[in-house]
Amino acid sequence: MPTKHGDRLLVWGVAGIDANAIAQAQRTSELPFIEGHVALMPDAHFGLGATVGSVIPTRGAIIPAAVGVDIGCGMIAVETSLTAADLPDSLNRLLSLIERSVPSGVGRGHRRRDRQLPGDAWCLANPNPSVDDDSKLGAKARQQFGSLGAGNHFVEVCLDPKDTVWVVLHSGSRGVGNRLAMSHIGRAKGLMRQRLISLEDPDLAYFVEGEPEFESYLDDLLWAQDYARGNRKTMMDAVLANLASVVAAPLQEVRRVDCHHNYTAREHHHGKDLWVTRKGAIRARQGDWGVVPGSMGTNTFIVKGLGNPASYDSAAHGAGRTMSRTQAKKTLTVESLADAMGGKAWLADKADALLDEHPDSYKDIERVMADQADLVEIEVELHQILNYKGA
């Protein structure tokens, strides 16, 4: 159940949230166009402008930094017809196939090599002047479509309690989404200066609905959200093809769950039409399917929303960090990461580069799930047997 902080902030799992994150969410809640209250999820941690793990309802304005720089980042999970018995004794070949078909790492994408890229057709079918009029950005969008990125983005092969095989993937809108987001955040800050609007945190700069800057941002935002969803689908299809190639049994897709957790949408809550920005939060209306991952080496949850109006039908998007990446690299060890990944197929030869993703740098996902028992119900708990992550 949530704890109230001031008049306009509700916090789930307050005991596990850093005081700086709560103070940051409090600042956001005091903006004049916030409608009702800000809802802070139990995986929340300090972020750029707005807190990661926050749900922000607004009327007449949107804060670009509250959406974040990885527009449309989210999860996709596929339940397959395979069971553990269908898998080969070693998953190392599958890991190698995924590494070849899904580029990962900072700035990485598909190489053209005189061939058509997955992003060529998608970008042609989904034009965006902000991207198409910039040859370098357009090329980046086409090359990185169907690629994973780095940080906490991953591909996992998992088993559920019945030994059914699942594939889970986390990624967003890659470099093109970042460029669009940073451009609009800068533009919003410029408007605040022009209009002599002073904000306690300059990253809370906003666009006003009905003005050209708002419409321009919304166009790019919705395009980047679609790009992110298409990016996840393309990678998932590639990974499923890789999986099918290493098993003798026919692979059929039983169900697919896909959800954004960095986005804005027009929704109706408490009798009003609002812009709801979820930064590190998923939509969890009554019956909505969602994917809530833990961290590298820990479990992932397939959930169903309970439609809690106090959270604007939202829930946590994952475990949430407890250490910065710099702190994790200074504090944690490669040996303890290897211990945490014991028994799994993973990029062990890149352990040094993956140290900032150590599970000890994240919150306990079991605690997060307990703290949001009034937001979602757990349908399936998955444990990973293969992890692929970009350094």
Query: Tell me: the pLDDT tens digits for 49-93?
Result: 899 999 999 999 999 999 999 999 999 999 999 999 999 999 999
Nearest in space to 172 (alpha carbons), one of 214, 117, 228, 217? 228
Structure tokens at 250: 């026919």
| Choice among 110, 184, 261, 317 that is catalytic | 317
| Number of neighbours of residue 335 by Cβ within 10 angstroms | 9
Q: Give the three-state DSSP class for 98.
A: helix
- 147 falls within a domain: yes
- 186 falls within a domain: yes
The DSSP string of 210-243 is: TSHHHHHHHHHHHHHHHHHHHHHHHHHHHHHHHH
Nearest in space to 40 (alpha carbons), one of 20, 25, 59? 25
Known active-site residue 317:
yes
- 57 falls within a domain: yes
| Number of neighbours of residue 340 by Cβ within 10 angstroms | 17
- 370 falls within a domain: yes
- 112 falls within a domain: yes
Q: What pLDDT, in 10s, does the model give residues 197-249?
A: 999 999 999 999 999 999 999 999 999 999 999 999 999 999 999 999 999 99
- 316 falls within a domain: no
Contacts of 226 (CB under 8 A, 6+ apart): 72, 126
Please report the pLDDT score of residue 114 as a whole number.
Answer: 61
Please report the pLDDT score of residue 8 as a whole number.
Answer: 95
- 322 falls within a domain: no
Long-range contacts of 333-338 (CB under 8 A, 24+ apart): 336/360
Per the CB < 8 A criterion, the answer to whether 78 and 236 are in contact is yes
What CATH number does residue 198 fall under? 3.90.1860.10
Please report the pLDDT score of residue 16 as a whole number.
Answer: 87
Per the CB < 8 A criterion, the answer to whether 93 and 246 are in contact is yes
- 313 falls within a domain: no
Per the CB < 8 A criterion, the answer to whether 280 and 320 are in contact is yes
Structure tokens at 77: 């999970």
- Count the domains in the chain: 1
Q: Which residues of the chain have pLDDT under 50?
A: none
Give residue 48's domain range.
3-306+330-389
Nearest in space to 228 (alpha carbons), one of 153, 177, 304, 297? 177
Please report the pLDDT score of residue 391 as a whole number.
Answer: 76
pTM of the model: 0.96
Separation of alpha carbons 214 and 286, rounded Å = 31
